[in-house]
């Protein structure tokens, strides 16, 4: 699976959009981009995933660049409850495993 690079930490004001970048320059054609988050010491929570098209669900939007070498997770109106560590993971369709890195710690402040 391709390796990902994320900034270790980011801040965001409550109510503003949080844009979390992820670099995956070695991604191959059959690999999906997944985003999970971990709030405090809870189990990770699935957010969204995509292959090449942009995706949106009730939690977030995922923007993948045309060359697929990077992506951005967007939380449109961040709240204090979005404070968490966000993991960007690249995974091949037929792979059984997820490889977690150290993620981005997002701090949402009032």
Partner 1 sequence: NAGVTQTPKFRILKIGQSMTLQCTQDMNHNYMYWYRQDPGMGLKLIYYSVGAGITDKGEVPNGYNVSRSTTEDFPLRLELAAPSQTSVYFCASRLRQGEGTQYFGPGTRLTVL
- Residues forming the site for partner 1 (CB under 8 A): 32, 34, 36, 41-46, 49, 87, 91, 93-94, 96-103
Tokens describing residue 106: 């997002």
Q: Measured from the CB atom, is 36 or 70 closer to partner 1?
A: 36
- Minimal distance in Å, beta carbon 87 to partner 1? 7
For partner 1, the closer of residues 41 and 53 by Cβ is: 41
* Minimum separation from the CB atom of position 46 to partner 1 (A): 5
Give 19-84 as a DSSP string. EEEEE-TT--TTEEEEEEEE-TTSPPEEEEEESSS-EE-SS-EEEE-TTSSEEEEEETT--GGG-E
């Amino acid at each position: 699976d391709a390796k990902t690079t994320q900034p270790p930490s980011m801040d965001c004001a409550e109510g503003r959009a949080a844009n979390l970048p992820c670099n995956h320059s070695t991604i191959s054609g059959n690999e999906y981009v997944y985003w999970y988050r971990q709030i405090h010491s809870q189990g990770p929570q699935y957010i969204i995933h995509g292959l090449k098209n942009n995706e949106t669900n009730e939690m977030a939007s995922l923007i993948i660049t045309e060359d697929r070498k990077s992506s951005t997770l967007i939380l449109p109106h961040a709240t204090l409850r979005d404070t968490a560590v966000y993991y960007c993971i690249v995974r091949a369709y037929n792979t059984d495993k997820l490889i977690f890195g150290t993620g981005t710690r997002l701090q949402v402040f009032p």
